[in-house]
Amino acid sequence: MNGTTTTPPVLRLDGVSHTYSGQRRRTTVLKDIDYAFERGTFYTVLGPSGSGKTTLLSLASGLDTPTRGTVSFDGRALTELGLGRYRNRHAATIFQQYNLLTYMTALQNVTCAMEITGAKPATGRRRTRALELLEQLGLDRTTATRNVLRLSGGQQQRVAIARALACDVDILFADEPTGNLDEDTAQGIIDTFRDLAHEQGKCVVVVTHSQQLATQSDRVLTLRKGRLTEQANT
């Protein structure tokens, strides 16, 4: 023993390949990807349209399982840990299409997610914490108590972000989270992601076409022709 301990990466992809089977042909989108994601780091994943970014995110977030290879959280394969448990306790995702519950208000969407994941605010009630998060993202109390279908696309996106931030998870995934936002709001979201990684030790993985976002992340990964490569930090 040399006295040093090594913690496993929070998320690891080992030999991950993914193929979609259509009626006529099979499309291999990801090929033999190995990568270790660490806590306290803000990652962006770039790549041309159709290169498999959303597919990678759905495998890493436990929404789907790879046709080959293993995805692990803290050294345990997701299939062993349980995909549902992983999604409820350890990972939150901000989807491109928001995936909000459309019969609820913005506030209810956030508190409902906190109840499902068992997230307990450090102080105060869940409702208070949810309102605080929505407010930080520029949604006042009147907007927060409106049905989400009566909000603009950009406002719905901010509700989806607040919902993910409210769940105290280890890994935050986001698919084009700043796509519908004006420059100032987008910058605020990027700052939040960086703080989550650097101050709260979360692993943040964002799929994007935005260079503005990528240049502000710690590590930039690129997907091309099924392969994942890391760009040297500039």
* Ranges within 1-20 binding ligand ATP (CB under 6 A): 20
Size of the site for ligand ATP (CB under 6 A): 12
Q: How far is CA 85 from CA 95, 147, 206, 230, in A?
A: 19, 29, 22, 30
Per-residue mark of binding to ligand ATP, 25-64 (x: CB under 6 A): --x-x-----------------x-xxxxxxx---------
Cβ 116 to ligand ATP shortest distance, Å: 25
Q: How far is the CB of 44 from ligand ATP (least distance, A)?
A: 13
134 near 75, Cβ under 8 Å?
Answer: no
Residues 54 to 113: which contact ligand ATP by CB under 6 A?
A: 54-55
The 3-class secondary structure across 107-167, one letter per residue, is HHHHHHHHHHHCCCCCCCCHHHHHHHHHHHCCCCHHHHCCEHHHCCHHHHHHHHHHHHHHC
User: Of the listed pieces 1-9, 21-29, 140-148, 212-220, which binds ligand ATP according to CB under 6 A?
Assistant: 21-29
- Report the alpha-carbon distance of residue 100 to residue 13 in Å, rounded: 28
Q: How far is the CB of 216 from ligand ATP (least distance, A)?
A: 20
How far apart (Å, rounded) are the C-alpha atoms in residues 37 and 52? 18
Least Å distance between CB 222 and ligand ATP? 11
Q: Which is nearer to ligand ATP, 9 or 226 (CB)?
A: 226
Q: Which two tokens stand for residue 229?
A: 């490569």
Comparing CA positions, the residue from 214, 222, 180 lying closest to residue 194 is: 214
First-residue to last-residue Cα distance in the chain: 37
Shortest gap between Cβ of 110 and ligand ATP (angstroms)? 26
By beta-carbon proximity to ligand ATP, the closer residue of 128 and 212 is: 212
Nearer to ligand ATP, 38 or 64 (CB): 64
- Footprint of ligand ATP (CB under 6 A): 20, 22, 27, 29, 47, 49-55
